[in-house]
């Protein structure tokens, strides 16, 4: 089981809810993936609340944990207000804290992130910080009260997969008791399996499922890949080496010449 | 009076935030509101008086990742 704040979870996949071709496809993808946590956002709307209401009802019917996000925020103050508004709407202390610092890479502004996390943790929020793979930032986030870290493996939506495996491995070693969730950059089930083989606790992704040709099937593929990667990590993997090693015993082989 | 509602300037005579939501035909319990950068809880909207130039944000759940 995976423990994230006050929740015990069977699934190690967290799914975003954006960019699906229809609400029905979103619902089917969540169901087939086995995900027990979905991320949602808050936005201005002009339809008198009706669009948001319909979406909210869909999410309620999924009967999963809701992880609201502060996507698009560029300062601590903006993210803090968004988090408070999300708590008002969704009735949860959970918040996926995003504070974007760079326009092109959507890299987190880690200075504003730590400050926002400090204030939100002090106000009782369960903060899931979207961060870089920087150990020092991770330590700061833990020191202000974050009980989960969510490093990127490559830029949001890039589908580039783990670009810096050694940094992700270093994070795993540095935070053996903190749940680590790779958030952002996962493009393929093999990417998800790879980071799970590194010993990560879970994977959060959205676009790779939502824009797939068959999102529910891809969601299921990710669910299986994550399970496979986790099982492999727990099973103890063979370390790679440069030279061949025969897998069949040499002793007792027939002599034909 | 002029209010800036979700980034757009509108002329509106609502006295309170709750009245403004009614006038604008917002409905449902899934809305979050802020005035001038501060959250206004659902239960406080009826007592929150609006002033000329107030910046009001009305947000609701949307798809996100």
B31: contact with A, CB 8 A cutoff: yes
CB A162 within 8 A of CB A195: yes
Closest CA in chain B for residue A87: B32
Domains of chain A, first to last? 2-235 (3.20.20.70)
pLDDT of residue A256: 86
ipTM of the shown complex:
0.94
Pairing relationship of beta strands A65-68 and A94-97 according to DSSP bridges: unpaired
A206 is in an annotated binding site: yes
pLDDT of residue A46: 79
Q: How many CB atoms lie within 10 A of CB A75?
A: 15
The pLDDT, as a whole number, for residue B27 is 87
Q: How far is A194 from chain B (nearest CA, A)?
A: 21
Nearest-CA distance A244 → chain B (Å)? 44
Asked if B65 lies within 8 A of A56 by C-beta distance, the reply is no
Which candidate from B30, B32, B37 shows the least CB-CB separation from A53? Answer: B30
Do the Cβ atoms of B21 and B33 come closer than 8 Å?
A: yes
User: Residue A86 CA to chain centroid, in angstroms?
Assistant: 19
Domains of chain B: 2-59 (3.10.20.30)
pLDDT value at position A225?
A: 98
- Could you say which DSSP state residue A180 is in? B
Q: Is A35 labelled as part of a ligand binding site?
A: no
List the pLDDT tens digit at each of the 257 positions of chain A.
999 998 999 999 999 999 999 999 999 999 999 999 999 999 998 788 788 989 999 999 999 999 999 999 999 999 999 999 999 999 999 999 999 999 888 999 999 999 999 999 999 999 999 999 999 999 999 999 999 999 999 999 999 999 999 999 999 999 999 999 999 999 999 999 999 999 999 999 999 999 999 999 999 999 999 999 999 999 999 999 999 988 888 888 888 87
CA A91 to chain centre: 21
Is B65–A18 a contact, with Cβ atoms under 8 angstroms apart? yes
CA distance A53 to A58: 9
Do the strands A181-183 and A150-151 form a parallel or antiparallel pair, or are they unpaired?
Answer: unpaired
Q: Where are the beta strands (DSSP E) in A79-121?
A: 94-97
- Residue A70 is assigned to a ligand binding site: no
User: What's the confidence (pLDDT) of residue A253?
Assistant: 84
Q: What is the pLDDT along chain B (65 residues), one digit of tens a residue?
A: 999 999 999 999 899 999 999 999 998 889 999 999 999 999 999 999 999 999 999 999 999 98
Helix (H/G/I), strand (E/B), else coil: A183: strand
How far is residue A220's CA from residue A201's CA, in Å, rounded to a whole number?
A: 18
Q: Which of A5, A13, A8 is nearest to A218 (CA)?
A: A13
3-state DSSP assignment of residue A131: strand
CA dist A194 and A161 (Å) reads: 9
């Amino acid at each position: 089981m995976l423990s994230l704040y006050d929740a015990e979870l069977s699934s190690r996949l967290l799914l975003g809810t954006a960019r699906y071709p229809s609400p029905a496809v979103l619902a089917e993808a969540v169901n087939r993936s086995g995900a027990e946590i979905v991320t949602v956002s808050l936005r201005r709307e002009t339809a008198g609340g009706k669009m948001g209401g319909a979406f909210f009802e869909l999410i309620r019917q999924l009967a999963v944990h809701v992880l609201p996000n502060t996507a698009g925020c560029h300062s601590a103050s903006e993210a803090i207000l968004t988090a408070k508004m999300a708590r008002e709407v969704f009735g949860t202390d959970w918040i996926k804290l995003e504070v974007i610092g760079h326009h092109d890479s959507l890299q987190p502004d880690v200075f504003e992130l730590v400050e926002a996390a400090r204030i939100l943790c002090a106000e009782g929020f369960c903060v899931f910080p979207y961060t870089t793979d920087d150990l020092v930032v991770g330590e700061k986030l833990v020191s202000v009260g974050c009980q989960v870290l969510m490093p990127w493996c490559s830029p949001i939506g890039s589908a580039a997969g783990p670009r810096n495996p050694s940094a992700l491995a270093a994070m795993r070693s540095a935070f053996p008791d903190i749940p680590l969730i790779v958030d952002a950059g996962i493009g393929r089930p093999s990417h998800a399996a790879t980071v799970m083989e590194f010993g990560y606790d879970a994977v959060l992704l959205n676009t790779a499922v939502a824009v797939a040709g068959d999102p529910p099937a891809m969601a299921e593929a990710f669910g299986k890949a994550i399970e496979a990667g986790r099982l492999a990590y727990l099973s103890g993997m063979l370390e790679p080496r440069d030279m061949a090693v025969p897998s069949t015993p040499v002793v007792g082989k027939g002599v034909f010449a | 009076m002029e209010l800036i509602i979700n980034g757009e300037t509108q002329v509106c005579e609502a006295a309170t935030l709750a009245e403004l939501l009614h006038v604008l035909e917002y409905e449902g319990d899934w809305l979050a509101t802020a005035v001038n950068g501060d959250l206004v809880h659902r239960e406080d909207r009826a007592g929150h008086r609006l002033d000329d130039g107030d910046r009001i944000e009305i947000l609701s759940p949307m798809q996100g990742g």
